[in-house]
Amino acid sequence: MTSTMLREIGEAAEAVGRQLGHNVDRLAELGARLRALDPPLVATIARGSSDCCALYLKYLVEIASGIPCASIGPSIATLYRTPMRLGGCVSVAISQSGRSPDIVDMQRAARRGGALAVALVNDVASPLAEETEVLLPLCAGAEHSVAATKSMVAGLAAGASLVAAWREDQQLADALSGLPEILRGQTAAPPTEMLEQLANARSAFVLGRGATLAIAAEAALKLKETCAIHAEAYSAAEVLHGPAELVESGFPVIAFLPSDAARQGMLPTLATLADAGATVIAIEAGGADDAHRLATAKVEATLLEPVVMIHRFYRLAEALALRLGRDPDRPRNLRKVTETL
C-alpha cells in the first residue's frame, strides 16, 4: 500500500504548477510594490518546516539583493510584548495551516510595527490570511500526511517566485516555469544499499552551505519525524568547530551539494569527515544514483537546486521509514496539528 507521504510527494509538481498559474498577477503587483518600497530589511515569521522555508528565502534575498533578512522570534510579540520597529520593512509569514497563534500574533505585531505584511499560506481561509496585506496562496491542496512535503516544496517555490518578481529576474522566472516538469520526472526510488547504510544510524549530520543549508535543516527535521534518527543540520562551514566530535566509524553525513560557489567550500569538509570515519552521502544534480550518491534532476537556476534536492530527499526519508518498519504517516509521538499536543 502506498503511504500518504509518498502520494503527496508525487503531488508536489502539480501543486507548484497550480501555484505559478494562480499567482501571476499578484506576484507582478507585489514585485512592483517591493521595488517601490525598497525595504532595508525582510523579516520572516515561521516555525518548524516553514522556518526552513524562511531560511531558504533569506539566502535568496541576501544573495540576490544584499538586503538583510531576519527571522523574528514570535516570543518577542507573544511573551515579551515589545513593539517591533519595522517601518519601511516587509514581513513574510510562512505557514501551511495559517493557524498557529504565535505566528498570527507576530504577523499582527509586524504590521503594527510598520511592515508590509506578506504571507505564504496554504489554507487561505485562515486567521493568518486575515492579518496579511498581500497573500500568496501555496495552492498545495489539502495535506494529510503528518510529514509535510508538497506544501514545503510549494513554499520554497513561492519564496523563489517572490524574489524573481521583486528582482525582475527573468532567468529565475523561466527556471521556475520548468520546475513542475522537473519534479514530475523525479520519481525514482532511492538505492537499497543507501537505505541499508542508514538503517543502523542513531545519529547523523545533514550538511548544506548557502541556500542548501535551508533544506539541510528541513531534511534533518524529516529524519527525526519519520525515522526517529537524530539528524542535525549544520553549515559545512560550522560542523568542524565542535560537532565533529560525534563522528566515529560509519557515522552518516548527508550533504546537499549545490553546483554554485558553495560547492568548493564543502568538499574539503566532507573529506575531513570521511577521514574521521564518516559515511558520506551526497545529494547533487545529475549523474546516477549509487550507494553514496542520490542524483537529482538538473535545473536551470542554481537557486532552485534546493527545491529539486529536497523533493528528491523526501523519497529517501519515506523509504527509510518503511525500511525501519515505521509507518511514515503515523509517528508515535506526533500529530498533524501541533497546538493540541
Restricting to residues 215-244, which ones interact with its own copies according to CB under 8 A?
Answer: 221-222, 224-226, 228, 230, 232, 235, 237-238, 240-244
* Those residues with Cβ within 8 angstroms of residue 182's Cβ, 6 or more apart along the chain or in another chain: 13, 297, 298, 299, 308
Q: What sign does the dihedral 214-284-21-67 (CA atoms) show? A: positive
Q: What is the DSSP letter of 290?
A: B
- Segment near its own copies (CB under 8 A), from 17-25, 42-50, 153-161, 177-185? 42-50
Nearer to its own copies, 25 or 38 (CB): 38
Q: Does 80 bind its own copies (CB under 8 A)?
A: yes
How far, in Å, CA of 37 to CA of 35, rounded? Answer: 5
Each residue 266-305 as x (binds its own copies by CB under 8 A) or -, in order, gives ------x---x-----------------------------
Which member of 2, 66, 170, 286 binds its own copies (CB under 8 A)?
Answer: 66
How far, in Å, CA of 207 to CA of 258, rounded? Answer: 11
Instruction: Find the helix or strand (DSSP H, E) in which 119 lies.
Output: strand 116-121
Nearer to its own copies, 58 or 312 (CB): 58
- Segment near its own copies (CB under 8 A), from 22-30, 63-71, 133-141, 170-178? 63-71
* Least gap, CB of 268 to its own copies (angstroms): 9
CA distances from 237 to 111, 122, 242, 244 (A): 35, 34, 11, 12
Interacting positions 97-136 with its own copies (CB under 8 A): 102, 113
* Least gap, CB of 288 to its own copies (angstroms): 28
Which member of 19, 27, 34, 59 binds its own copies (CB under 8 A)?
Answer: 59
Instruction: Please report which residue ranges of the chain form alpha helices under DSSP H.
Output: 4-10, 12-22, 24-37, 49-65, 75-78, 101-112, 127-130, 150-167, 170-177, 179-185, 192-199, 212-227, 262-275, 305-323
Tell me the site size for its own copies, rule CB under 8 A: 73
* Least gap, CB of 73 to its own copies (angstroms): 7
- Segment near its own copies (CB under 8 A), from 1-9, 118-126, 245-253, 307-315? 245-253
* Least gap, CB of 227 to its own copies (angstroms): 8
How far, in Å, CA of 105 to CA of 101, rounded? Answer: 6
